[in-house]
């Protein structure tokens, strides 16, 4: 079965703390893509990153970093030195072989000033 699990429903931290959002996936495909999207209060889904199953290198983009581990079927997202503007709902998603995105339930991140 194709499935994405984001076990953390809501996380609340104080500004400048580091925070990690967990994502665990299940897939029968040998080739697949994983994504993270951000949904700010305005409602749109903003693409953050795409990672294919062949590339297990971690990625860093500014304060954002992603840790992809096939051995544990995880694709975790870390925000370093969080800021209030990072407050949003974050979704992890898996692109299946039919080009359908399979979504996790989302993690609501609250950054307090």
Partner 1 sequence: EAGVTQFPSHSVIEKGQTVTLRCDPISGHDNLYWYRRVMGKEIKFLLHFVKESKQDESGMPNNRFLAERTGGTYSTLKVQPAELEDSGVYFCASSHLTSGASLDTQYFGPGTRLTVL
Residues that bind partner 1 (CB under 8 A): 33, 35, 37, 42-47, 50, 52, 91, 93, 95, 98-106
Question: Alpha carbon of 28 to those of 22, 96, 97: distances in Å?
Answer: 20, 9, 10
CB nearer to partner 1: give 47 or 71.
47
CB nearer to partner 1: give 52 or 58.
52
- Spatial separation of the C-alpha atoms in residues 76 and 87, rounded to whole Å: 17
DSSP assignment letter at 72: G
Task: Return the C-alpha torsion angle 74, 70, 52, 99, nearest 10.
Answer: -70
CB nearer to partner 1: give 86 or 104.
104
Q: How far is the CB of 3 from partner 1 (least distance, A)?
A: 10
Q: How far is the CB of 1 from partner 1 (least distance, A)?
A: 14
Q: How far is the CB of 4 from partner 1 (least distance, A)?
A: 8
Q: 3-class DSSP state for residue 93?
A: strand
């Amino acid at each position: 079965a194709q499935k994405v699990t984001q076990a953390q429903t809501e996380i609340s931290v104080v500004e400048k703390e580091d925070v990690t959002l967990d994502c665990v996936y299940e897939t029968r495909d040998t080739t697949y893509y994983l994504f993270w999207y951000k949904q700010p209060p305005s409602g749109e889904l903003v693409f953050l990153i795409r990672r294919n199953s062949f590339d297990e290198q971690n990625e860093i983009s500014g304060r954002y970093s992603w840790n992809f581990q096939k051995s544990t079927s995880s694709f975790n997202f870390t925000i370093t030195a969080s800021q209030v503007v990072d407050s949003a709902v974050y979704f992890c998603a898996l692109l299946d072989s039919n080009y359908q995105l399979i979504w996790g339930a989302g993690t609501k991140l609250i950054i307090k000033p």
